[in-house]
Amino acid sequence: MNLIEFPLLDQTSSNSVISTTLNDLSNWSRLSSLWPLLYGTSCCFIEFASLIGSRFDFDRYGLVPRSSPRQADLILTAGTVTMKMAPSLVRLYEQMPEPKYVIAMGACTITGGMFSTDSYSTVRGVDKLIPVDVYLPGCPPKPEAVIDALTKLRKKISREIVEDRTLSQNKKRCFTTSHKLYVRRSTHTGTYEQELLYQSPSTLDISSETFLKSKSPVPSYKLVN
Amino acid sequence: MIIDRVEVETINSFSKLELLKEVYGLISILPILTLLLGITIEVLVIVWLEREISASIQQRIGPEYAGPLGLLQAIADGTKLLFKEDILPSRGDISLFSIGPSIAVISVLLSFLVIPLGYHFVLADLSIGVFLWIAISSIAPIGLLMAGYSSNNKYSFLGGLRAAAQSISYEIPLTFCVLAISLLSNSLSTVDIVEAQSKYGFFGWNIWRQPIGFLVFLISSLAECERLPFDLPEAEEELVAGYQTEYSGIKYGLFYLVSYLNLLVSSLFVTVLYLGGWNFSIPYISFFDFFQMNKAVGILEMTMGIFITLTKAYLFLFISITIRWTLPRMRMDQLLNLGWKFLLPISLGNLLLTTSFQLVSL
């Protein structure tokens, strides 16, 4: 028997009735209130914004746009993600509480789209940065296509098993980078030329260290290819 | 032998007493639990109503797929928030961060104590009644301030400060309106206030005797609930979500609950103070004459009282929901100007007029 086709048979722990119904309850609640993060970097967001309005209305599926990542369950990466935007996208994703889902919306966030050949600044596919649940092609995709992606994500959530999620949750979380703030002497000393010529060795040390640490999580040579 | 028997008897009677006490305690808890259950159901209904009404105002459909007509949408949201990860900010004050939302919830829940839902159907008919509500509802901003301060986030902090400033400045005109009402009915008890309006049916409502007070109460209760013309503390475009920015999971759910509980409390108080509470309110026709029913049926009377109170409260809720989706947000200086320079003098003048009329009529 092929285990890829029947992933449920591999599970031994979800046999009891109670855990199954709890699992179903949590899956149902998750899929029927997927709150998306208000995140848009370019033209795909225009299509996404029309979903908020009256013609396509994603409130029918229980989607309420939230502006704080702490309360969002879903991020639709609407629009081209540039190298400059990449660290903040990763940070926003990290700030969302588990369970969280990603829909890569539009060609730009799947492969880089029309920027994939000769751009020096585009990330070739948002899946190099964050794990993607549903790929939604189109340039930009129609609102109907977004609703299609949403129903596919809902289907995916409905087949989820809680234990799998908790296993993947146990990886190391990224906390806020510690900004090395320290008290300095007043700058109004009157000896400005000396300050310029002889920088104190301690500040030099720290600045180079933080520079090395504050690189984007994926090294830049990976992003180019 | 005899002593033993006596001892055993005393012990027996003592344990019986204890048992009785426990049973009595359980019975006295029962109405509280019933009220809590009722409140929870009402909040779920309000959330559904708000989403459907806002949808129909914007010519949308609103929640559709969660249960029939999207009725289970609020339950789905709540369950999801319960199962979500609860994030504590790594640099925040963890204890304050956890206490903040619970203080806000408890202070709002306590004010349901004095609301009469039917004829003498009230948890505690206190002689200070409405003032208990005013005193308790001013504890909530402390919880919001705690939440804003402990999140270690500039948006949260600004939101917390705004919430505190707003609710402190709008509490004063609210209190003056309540004072004027209590002067009219010579009592602070909520039951007496409703009784005083029961005489002439629809025309005996306090809204006709206190039209200015009603308007001021309406505006400042909207401000207390942080509803849309006054929702500066959680303004999405400036502060990400105000003091709720760092909250996730069920703690955010508690804040969500607080906003709707607050709305329910203030609409129930509008019903009690201005719209005649549980009275049927059609002049010269008693409800029981109207339907040719026996007044001795106490349960039926009580149910009708609850039904009428809730209908009036939901009418008021409909108005505040429509206001939310009609008016734009005010600026901070406009908000404080309205509170201190307009509502406060007007409510003071209203109080002065009411007092002098009462003195003359005496």
Task: Identify the CATH number of the domain in which residue A124 sits.
Answer: 3.40.50.12280
**CA nearest to B255 within chain A:** A71
- Min mean pLDDT across A88-92, A178-182, B43-47, B307-311 is at A178-182
Quick one: what percent of chain B has pLDDT higher than 90? 8
Residues sharing a CB contact under 8 Å with residue B122, sequence separation 6 or more, in sequence order: B114, B115, B116, B190, B191
In the prediction, which pLDDT does A145 show?
A: 92
How is chain B split into domains, by residue range?
A: 1-83, 87-361
Residues sharing a CB contact under 8 Å with residue B90, sequence separation 6 or more, in sequence order: A175, A176
**CA nearest to B242 within chain A:** A68
A147 domain-assigned: yes
Exposed e or buried b for every residue in B218-254, given b needs 16+ CB within 10 A? Answer: bbbbbbbbbbbbbbbbbbeeebbbbbbbbbbbbbbbb
Report ipTM (2 d.p.). 0.75
- The answer to whether the CB of A162 falls within 8 A of the CB of A26 is yes
In the prediction, which pLDDT does A182 show?
A: 67
Mean pLDDT, residues B67-78 taken together: 85
A72 domain-assigned: yes
Longest alpha-carbon distance in chain A: 81
- Min mean pLDDT across A205-214, B10-19, B269-278 is at A205-214
Tens digits of residue pLDDT in A57-72: 888 888 888 888 988 9
pLDDT of B349 higher than 90: yes
Tens digits of residue pLDDT in B216-225: 999 998 888 8
Higher pLDDT, residue A169 or B228: B228
**CA nearest to A175 within chain B:** B90
pLDDT of B193 higher than 90: no
Instruction: Give A53's contacts in chain B (Cβ within 8 Å).
Output: 58, 60
For B162, list phi and psi in degrees, rounded to 5: -65, -45
**Count of domains in chain A?**
1
The token duo for A173 is 């979380």
Q: How far is B74 from chain A (nearest CA, A)?
A: 9
- The answer to whether the CB of A65 falls within 8 A of the CB of A95 is no
A70 domain-assigned: yes
At A101, the amino acid letter reads Y
In the prediction, which pLDDT does A5 show?
A: 47
Contact A26 B83 (CB under 8 A): yes
The residue range of the domain holding A43 is 35-159
Mean pLDDT, residues A121-130 taken together: 86
Does B247 touch chain A if contact means CB atoms closer than 8 Å?
Answer: yes
Distance separating alpha carbons of residues B332 and B232, to the nearest angstrom: 7
Of A76, A224, A81, A217, the C-alpha closest to A143 is A76
Distance separating alpha carbons of residues B239 and B241, to the nearest angstrom: 6
Quick one: what percent of chain A has pLDDT higher than 70? 63
CA A176 to chain CA centroid, Å, is 16
In the prediction, which pLDDT does A36 show?
A: 92
In the prediction, which pLDDT does B350 show?
A: 92
In the prediction, which pLDDT does B9 show?
A: 65
Distance separating alpha carbons of residues A29 and B253, to the nearest angstrom: 14
User: Is the pTM here over 0.80, yes or no?
Assistant: no
A185 domain-assigned: no
